């Protein structure tokens, strides 16, 4: 009978990297605050550089030369004119078109559909509000909500058209 080698001789080297003979390496991880500060400093510096470059280049944000932009627009317009040269007038809306009466009948039906649906939605929304107006407490709350909503919408619209005194500062 042949003798077997001891089990320790058959074992493979350890696969655990923590128990290997290589030295351990420690990695330094930055704190959350320092990472946020670095990101904000980078974006502020980059955005100010981009604004300065745009101001120096006449305010353009495109890297293409002017001749390439104008040439591309002109080529696109020429292609559109050439492709539509043999098309002729639209037949659906012309006096000799086959779909004129059916087209306008369909358009009239869509207008009636819009009126019907919108009046149904208005009735469905306003019916519970009218019921709530019978109680003085809920009536006061509904009036306050409507007045606040109107004020909010007016403020948003004034800001959108530039009627407000608020000045945006991009610094």
**What is the rounded distance in angstroms from the CA atom of residue 14 to the CA atom of residue 7?**
15
Confidence of residue 98 (pLDDT cuts 50, 70, 90): low
pTM: 0.33
User: 103-119, pLDDT tens digit by residue?
Assistant: 777 888 888 899 999 99
Q: Which of 24-28, 45-49, 55-59 shows the lowest per-residue confidence on average (mean pLDDT)?
A: 55-59
> Please, are residues 131 and 123 in contact by the beta-carbon 8 Å criterion?
no
Tokens of 19: 């128990």
In this prediction, residue 102 carries a pLDDT of: 76
Do the beta carbons of residue 139 and residue 132 sit within 8 Å? Answer: yes
- Rounded (5°) CA angle 59-65-70: 95
The closest alpha carbon to 66, from 58, 56, 54, 77, belongs to 58
Which of the residue ranges 20-29, 93-102, 125-134, 160-169 would you say has the lowest mean pLDDT? 20-29
Residues 116-136 pLDDT 10s: 999 999 999 999 999 999 999
**Where is pLDDT greater, at 25 or 163?**
163
Q: State the Cα–Cα distance between residues 158 and 164, nearest whole angstrom.
A: 6
């Amino acid at each position: 009978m042949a003798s077997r080698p001891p089990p320790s001789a058959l074992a493979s080297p350890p696969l655990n990297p923590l128990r290997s003979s290589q030295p351990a390496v420690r990695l330094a991880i930055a704190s959350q605050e320092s990472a946020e500060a670095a990101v904000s400093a980078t974006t502020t510096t980059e955005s100010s550089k981009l604004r300065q470059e745009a101001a120096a280049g006449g305010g353009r944000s495109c890297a293409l030369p002017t001749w390439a932009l104008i040439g591309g627009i002109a080529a696109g317009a020429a292609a559109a004119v050439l492709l539509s040269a043999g098309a002729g007038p639209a037949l659906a809306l012309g006096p000799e078109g086959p779909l004129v009466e059916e087209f306008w009948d369909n358009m009239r039906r869509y207008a009636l559909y819009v009126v019907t649906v919108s009046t149904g939605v208005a009735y469905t929304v306003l019916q519970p509000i009218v019921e709530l107006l019978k109680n003085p407490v809920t009536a006061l709350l509904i009036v306050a909500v409507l007045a606040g909503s109107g004020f909010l919408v007016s403020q948003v619209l004034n800001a959108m058209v530039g009627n407000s005194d608020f000045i945006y500062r991009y610094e």
